[in-house]
Copies of this chain bind each other. A is one copy, B any other.
């Protein structure tokens, strides 16, 4: 089996290296990832400029490809033929922060898996719910092992068509993780605020700042699972239709 690994933190991120090294035990791994950080970059298809791809060497001496496109561009490039050998599955990550609730449409990690599904192959996004400001020394190995286990399972027993998996792993040693839960998308609580500053030439500029988002640890949800020490697997689909309001909207007189 041939697995494409990508991420949104850039090709040199330690989370990608841990993931790729661990997945090599279950299949052939190719890496095509962005050459820079694309966090919260959304689902991108770069059509207004051409993309460059270069060969790089990772910290363990392995080969990888890096592109100046977004994570979803990397997946598109690979599946459109830049990587010649047929790809069976895309795994994206490991992101150092959880991707839960509304994060899923912003997240480069998740949108890379969306791009796989749109192109007809399975996609798995893997994120670690790590503590804040601690990213330089993270232990990605438990999450990499779990990602490999889930990937192996999906290669054995395919996912339903059109479904991607959004996997979030609590930041715990493997023997403290209580198990795996299938969850629904929960509710993020963003705490963004506008931070207006003035540059040395007297002109204003704006940071989207504020405190890190929290989430509601409701049972049955992505965050509820990782909050309780479980791995969360949320199956996501690309049909965003709000089915439950269609008949109410149809009953309205729009004319």
A202 at the interface (CB under 8 A from B): no
Min Cβ gap A234→B in Å is 6
Q: A254, B180: Cβ atoms under 8 Å?
A: yes
* Closest residue of B by beta carbon distance from A118: B102
A219 at the interface (CB under 8 A from B): no
In the assembled complex, the Cα of A240 lies from the Cα of B43 at a distance in Å of 14
A residues 162-203 near B (Cβ < 8 Å) are 162-163, 179-180, 182, 184-185, 190, 192-194, 197, 203
Most chain-B Cβ atoms within 10 A of its Cβ — which of A47, A242, A246? A242
Which of A33-41, A56-64, A126-134 lies at the interface? A33-41
Complex alpha-carbon distance, A182 and B249, angstroms: 7
Cβ–Cβ < 8 Å partners of A53 in chain B: 204, 206
Which of the segments A14-22, A87-95, A103-111, A135-143 contacts the partner chain? A103-111
Apart from A150-B254, A153-B252, A160-B245: 16 A-B pairs, beta carbons within 8 A: A37-B48, A39-B47, A42-B42, A43-B105, A45-B192, A51-B208, A77-B208, A80-B194, A102-B118, A105-B105, A160-B248, A180-B255, A185-B240, A234-B241, A236-B240, A237-B241
With contacts A47-B40, A77-B206, A102-B118 known, is A237 near B246, CB below 8 A?
no
Chain A interface main SS type: mixed
Are B157 and A252 touching (Cβ within 8 A)? yes
A72 within 8 A of B: yes
Q: Which 7 A-B pairs have the closest CB atoms?
A: A42-B42, A42-B43, A237-B242, A80-B194, A235-B242, A40-B45, A50-B205
A interface residues, tally (CB under 8 Å): 73
Task: Specify which of A45, A204, A248 lies most central, judged by the most chain B CB atoms within 10 Å of its CB.
Answer: A45
Q: Which of A72, A105, A153, A235 has the most CB of B within 10 A?
A: A105
